[in-house]
Amino acid sequence: TIDAERLWDSLMETARIGATPDGGIARLTLSEDDRRVRDWLRARCDALGLSMTVDEAGNMFATRPGARPDLPAIAMGSHLDTQPTGGKFDGVLGVLAGLEVLRTLDAAGYRTEAPLMLVNWTNEEGSRFSPAMLGSGIWAGVYSREYGDGRADARGDTFGASLDRIGYRGEARAGAVRFGAMFELHIEQGPILEAEGVEIGVVQGIQGMRWFDLTMTGTAAHTGSTPMGMRRNALLGMARVIEGIDRIAKAHPDAVGTIGFLEIGPNSHNVIPGEVRATIDLRHPSDAVLDRMQAEVEELVRDAAEAVGLTHRLEQISRTAPVVFDAECIASVRTGARAAGYSTRDIISGAGHDAAHAAAVAPTTMIFVPCKDGLSHNPAESTEPAECAAGAQVLLEAVLDYDRR
């Protein structure tokens, strides 16, 4: 049995690294605070005598040997980076619950057949450097090291330079560290488990997700002396796109569509916006529906640009197909939850996770626990100590079940 208090203490201890006054965490990937929480994790792994490998994308892998060195490792983990308005659980719970599993086995002197591995993926959030799940994507070979290194944040600082700066560029080639299966515990980030009073979500897969960069360009000019009929207001075109995406998503059951990032230039009270840049996020469990939504968005953008007299550039920056998780891994989660006595429900993840990239390489699944009001990417994100402990216990049981097969 995992130590619920030790797990909670670790969550609260790391929550101080990058803490915000409103109770959240702003621990952007590859920031100084990211370095500090990585150092914290490395020290805890050292204390358990684990061997740590860091790869060239900054992904951290700590291994605990099993009885049979010929077997591939069973991995647990998630990410320690957060959104700028992040909470204390998104990602962090999956890493610290994995650590808690290893601490529990250590204290019990339990030796698994396969080696166990704890993983901290770099830049899951994608908030400082897009796209999300970049570290696991480089590991899985979806993105090259060069592509990753070149990604720039809003200030022009790059992923590669930031990784070097915080000292977490590892020696290992991306993909060189492999494992035989992966279990990722995570908060649901949605309202379903809480609404139905279910303790554990048995995750079946992840919905598909497509991101686009959209730049609309008009003419910057004086707000006072440029008549309405002579304007090419890039922000007006973008306003129509914002409304249109909301309309398109609402027209497809189970779809979501959002603009979460937007920047306007020159951004001065008395200058008509000459250029506006935004990212569009479309999701649905079916790729066919996503194809239709994408076509509708392309038409929307063309029409809005034409109506306002703008030029535009719409560029797909990421595309993740819907993911179906491994049946055996899912069976182990189900067995583990039953053994631990928790209620379960099958569920599809609305959010993307590193497990999506892992699933392309090895048998993978996820375990969800509820979060208050379905809220995440928000300082008010909240999961109870007992809910965190339930997730960690099911993670332990699932890993041991998988190890026994």
Ligand X SMILES: NC(=O)NCCC(=O)O
**Contact of residue 56 among a second copy, ligand X, none (CB under 5-8 Å per partner type):** none
Q: Is the dihedral of CA 298, 300, 305, 306 positive or negative?
A: positive
Nearer to ligand X, 66 or 126 (CB): 126
Q: Look up residue 284 and give its two tokens.
A: 């649905």
Scanning 20-28, 121-129, 158-166, 232-240 for contacts with ligand X by CB under 6 A, the matching segment is: 121-129
Question: Tokens for 225?
Answer: 């002396």
Sheet strand arrangement including 275-284: 256-265, 275-284, 208-217, 311-320
Secondary structure (3-state) at 134: helix
Determine if residue 377 is labeled as part of a ligand binding site. yes
- Residue 268: contacted member of a second copy, ligand X, none (CB under 5 to 8 Å, by partner type): a second copy
CB of 346 to a second copy, least distance (A): 15
Least distance (Å) from ligand X to the CB of residue 381? Answer: 11
269 is in an annotated binding site: no
Q: Which of residues 344-363 bind a second copy (CB under 8 A)?
A: 349-352
Which is nearer to ligand X, 125 or 199 (by Cβ)? 125
165-204: which residues touch ligand X (CB under 6 A)? Answer: 189
Q: What tokens does 122 get? A: 């770099």
Whether residue 353 is annotated as binding a ligand: the answer is no
Cβ 190 to a second copy shortest distance, Å: 3
- Residue 123 in the binding site for a second copy (CB under 8 A): no
For residue 253, what are the CA distances in angstroms to 177, 248, 381, 398?
40, 10, 26, 33
* Cα–Cα dist 301/151, whole Å: 25
Chain centroid to Cα 14, Å, comes to 18
Among 242, 321, 331, 361, binds a second copy (CB under 8 A): 242
- Site track 132-151 with ligand X (rule: CB under 6 A), x = hit: x-------------------
Residues 60 to 119 in contact with ligand X, rule: CB under 6 A: 90
How many residues line the site for ligand X (CB under 6 A)?
A: 12
Closest-CA residue to 257 (of 246, 243, 272, 242): 246
Q: Which partner in ligand X, a second copy, none is near 266 (CB below 5 to 8 A by kind)?
A: a second copy
158 binds a second copy (CB under 8 A): no
The token pair that represents 154 in the structure block: 């809003």
Instruction: With beta carbons less than 8 A apart as the criterion, state whether 115 and 66 touch.
Output: yes
- Contact of residue 271 among a second copy, ligand X, none (CB under 5-8 Å per partner type): a second copy
Residue 21 interacts with which of a second copy, ligand X, none, CB < 5 to 8 Å by class: none
Q: Which of residues 245-274 bind a second copy (CB under 8 A)?
A: 246, 249-250, 255-274
Helix (H) or strand (E) run with residue 163 in it? helix 159-165
**Binding ligand X by CB under 6 A: which of 197, 224, 227, 253?**
224
| 331 binding a second copy? (CB under 8 A) | no
Tell me which DSSP letter residue 381 carries: -
Using H for helix, E for strand and C for coil, what is the string for 227-281?
A: CHHHCCCHHHHHHHHHHHHHHHHHHCCCCEEEEEEEEEECCCCCEECCEEEEEEE
> What is the token pair recorded at 37?
């929480």
Binding-site entries for Zn(2+): 79, 90, 125, 186, 377
Detail the residues annotated as belonging to a binding site.
79, 90, 125, 186, 377
